[in-house]
Chains A and B, each alone.
Chain A
Amino acid sequence: MGLKAYAFETSIRGALVAGALLGSQTARADPPALGLETIGRLELAWTFRTGNPRGHAGAPAVSGDSIFVLTPFPHALVALDLQGHERWRVVPDSDPRAEGLATGGGVTDGPVLAGGRLYLTTLDGHAMAVEAATGRVAWDRAVASLDAGETLRNAPLVQGGRVYVGSAGDDAGARGWLAALDSGTGRELWRRLSTGPDGEVGIGPQFRSAYPTEAGADLGVRTWPPEAWRQGGGSPGPILADAELGVVVYGTGHPAPWNPDQRPGSNRWTSGLFARDAATGAARWFTPTNPHDEHAYGAASPNLLVDRPWRGVDRKLLVHPDPNGFLQVLDRETGLILSAKPIVPTNAVSGLDAGSGAPVRADAKRTHADTMTRDICPAWTGPVLAEPALSAETGFVLLPTSRLCMDLEPRDSGVIPGTLSIGANVRLKVPAGPAGALVAWDLEREAPAWTAEEPLPLAGGVLATGGLAIYGTLDGRLKALDARSGRSLWEYRAPSGIIGRPVAFTGPDGRAYLAVLAGVGGPLGQAARGGIDVRDATAAGGLANAVRQAAYRDILGQGDESGSLLVFRLP
Chain B
Amino acid sequence: MAFCCLAGCGGETEVEKATSEGILIMGNSSEPKGIDPHIVSGVLENNVIRSLFEGLVIEHHSKNGEYLPGVAKKVEHDGNSTVWTFHLREEARWSDGEPLTSEDFMFSFQRILTPSLGSDYSFMLYYIEGAEDFHKGETTDFTTVGVTAPNDHTLRVKLRGPLPFLPEITKHYTWFPVPKHVVLDHGKMGEPFTDWTKPGNLVCNGPFKLKSWRINDHIEVERNPEYWDAENVGINGIRFLPINNSYTETRMFFSGQLHLTYRVPPEMIAYSAEHYPENLRTEPWIATYFIRCNVDRDAFKDKRVRKAFSMTIDQQSIIDNVTLGKQLPATGIVPAFGDYPASKQVSFNPEAARKLLAEAGYPNGEGLPDIEFLTTDQDSAKALAEALQAMWLEHLGVTIKIRQLEWTTYLDTMFKQEYDLAAGGWVGDYLDPLTFLDMWIEGGGNNRTGWSNEKFEALLDEVQKTGDKGLRYKKLKEAEELFLEERPVLPIYWYTRNYLISRDVQGWNPLILDNHPYKFLKLESAD
A and B pair up: no
Q: Which residues of B contact A (CB under 8 A)?
A: none
- Show the binding face of A for B, using Cβ within 8 Å: none
